[in-house]
Amino acid sequence: MTWRSIRSISALLLLGAAALQAQPRYVRSEVRVPTPAVTLIDSRGERVPLAAALDAPGPVVLQFIFTTCPAVCPMLSGSLAGAQGEMGEKTRLVSISIDPEYDTPARLREYARRLKAGPRWRFLTGDRDGVAAVQKAFGAWRPNKMSHEPLTFLRAAPGEPWVRLAGPVTAADLIAEYRRLAGR
């Protein structure tokens, strides 16, 4: 083999590696989701109709998490924590626990504190049926919390479709998707 062919093969391998790195780590789609008529409980222990949390004017970002999750949730919550300062002042961030038996309002408050969650970021829990109804509406329900997917949903305004990001997203990904959404 000549140096020229080795260099050519090396260049092709580098191009292939760069193309793989350029591939998004998540899949973007749009979905229409009617807001389920459920009432959840926030980290202060107050009852919150889901419509009040999701359907007020302005953009909203939604994730399903649980505070003892060892892998997916820290990554999801961390990306949202890193992006929260770059999203508009009227953007609401909502994290809904999929482990309502464990994730009490006090545990959600502590989780929010660790993430340095700002005042626009709400953490919600509720009863098992209410949380399951929300997950099912968004196509995110799994019978076992340990098998949940990394999903993030963004919406520009009530009545608009939700952008569904399936897979791991970074803070930079969320900021880019938010700006793309705001530019509609």
Domains of the chain: 25-182 (3.40.30.10)
Mean pLDDT computed over every residue of the chain: 88
Burial (Cβ within 10 Å: 0-12, 13-18, ≥19) of residue 133? middle
30-81 pLDDT, tens digit per residue, is 999 999 999 999 999 999 999 999 998 999 999 999 999 998 999 999 999 9
Tokens of 45: 């222990």
Closest CA to 84 of 53, 115, 125, 110: 115
pTM value surpassing 0.95: no
